[in-house]
Amino acid sequence: MEEKRSGGAPRAADVLWAGRLKEKPDSAAFAFQASLAVDRRLALDDIAGSRAHAAMLAARGIIPAEAAAALDGELERLAAGIAAKGLAAIGLDAFPAADVTAEDIHSLIEGLLTEKLGDAGRMLHAGRSRNDQVAVDFRLYLMRIIPRLREELSQTAAVLLDRAEEHAETVMPGYTHLQRAQPVTAGFQLCAWACALIRDRERFADALSRITAECPLGSGALAGSTLDLDREATARALGFAAPGVNAMDSVADRDFALETAAAVSIAMVHLSRFCEDIVLWASEEFGFIVLSEAWSTGSSIMPQKKNPDFAELIRGKAGRTTGNLVTLLTLLKGLPYAYDKDLQEDKEALFDSLDTLDACLRMFRGMISAAAFNAERMKAACAGGFLEATDAAEYLVRKGVPFRKAHETAAGLVRDCIAAGQRSVGERTLSQLKEKSPLFEDDIYAALEPLACVRARKLGGGPAPEEVRRQAARLRLLLRQAVKPAL
């Protein structure tokens, strides 16, 4: 006999364990293969897909118009309840599922519809499988979430540009191999960070263009349906460019999840690299930046400590998102085409990555907004280390010396300085400089000052203050341009 709820409708689980199967898994086995605790966040997307599907079924005469109207009304009510009360509106607590008899969000919603509407609820699944249902829900979810992440990236880049303009003339060493290389400015480095985040923003837009390109709904389990479905209508209603070209590919494809996970991982690697610099700069050895106490933590044993824990955590969480990307790649590499239950594991990894990036962007933005840059310490760090050596070589190049000879001359000057215990080329007398090249004149000393070195690098892309301001203006223009997926 069919097991019933008190209202007479079958449990949500019965929707799925019907057909040829007489036995059902015990509670532990059922919980093991259930995904409701993870895919619960697809509730609104499942409702949106179901409303479009019901409308199409009625338009094609596959189900009665009154049944479609009842389904749409109930689905709208469920969506409104979720908007007002969260998932509690459909019987889900804050943690996992109150209705443990539902395997996933799809069966839960279908069970609620059937409980409320009877046979009208049972009509909704005509012409679709959970395979195309979950594929469209997953895409719809990303179509909601990716624009939010792009906005978080935009806001974070904008904060970096604010700070870059503020510090367009704050001289500091630029580093290669973590060795002092040439004088730059703090604004120049902050613009560099903003460039990376803007690329991340557009990388998500690129992924979104493929997410919205094809709608899986109507693909069925893998081979479509014999029913007279209007796949073009449901694709348009849900914001897709067109139905999927091949039904098997539509339910097997998780490229969109991989692309999104990769975009998240790349963005997190960027944040991790920024935070590595911040951790170094916040140390006593560098002293370039003072993090707000609100964005630092103390030590449980050392009273004097002020630790850059937020930067360190962001750096650490980059490994988490990289691991999630590897999880998805590994998940897919051995699967035969069409749908396999393994694909149930795709969402948890990607959801975790999306949540992690969202949180890290907000934390990073707050941390960098409140940070103070120690301009004097940065300027002092430009003394010593011969950051002006390349400028000395280019001084000679401007006077006609071949670069390789100019480079050799500057290297010889550095060796002489080290032997004499001097920390910069500018400490050599003019006669000592002329011993290396008679082309040196008194103007060399002004040219080797750190700020002069920076101001001389005014080519596009350089660290000159006016060029940093131009870069910031150009990057702000990019942020204002709304890049939309090509439909």
Q: Which residues are catalytic?
A: 177, 299
- Structure tokens given for 107: 């069966």
Name which of 231, 225, 185, 124 is nearest 382 in CA terms.
185
DSSP state string for 69-104? HHHHHHHHHHHHHHHHHGGGGGT--SSS-S-TT-SS
Residue 107 corresponds to which amino acid? S
* Cα torsion through 345, 348, 354, 359, rounded to 10: -160
CA distance 35 to 268: 27
- Structure tokens given for 199: 């690329």
Query: What sign does the dihedral 198-204-210-213 (CA atoms) show?
Result: negative
Residue 382: alpha-carbon gap to chain centroid:
35
Q: 190 near 219, Cβ under 8 Å?
A: no
Query: What sign does the dihedral 221-223-224-227 (CA atoms) show?
Result: negative
Q: 192 in helix, strand or coil?
A: helix
> How many Cα atoms occupy the beta-carbon half-sphere of 403 within 13 Å?
3
Residue 172: alpha-carbon gap to chain centroid:
30
Determine phi and psi for 410, rounding to 5 degrees: -65, -40
> How many Cα atoms occupy the beta-carbon half-sphere of 361 within 13 Å?
28
Q: Which H or E run includes 404? A: helix 403-420
Residue 174 bridge partners (DSSP): 182
* Cα torsion through 116, 122, 127, 131, rounded to 10: 70
Q: 6 in helix, strand or coil?
A: coil
CA distance 448 to 424: 9
Query: What sign does the dihedral 146-149-155-157 (CA atoms) show?
Result: negative
Residue 10 bridge partners (DSSP): 4
- Structure tokens given for 39: 């895919």
- Structure tokens given for 87: 């998932």
Q: Among all chains, which residue has been given the structure tokens 């223009």?
A: 477
Q: Which H or E run includes 336? A: none
Q: What is the DSSP letter of 388?
A: T
Name which of 128, 136, 338 is nearest 229 in CA terms.
128
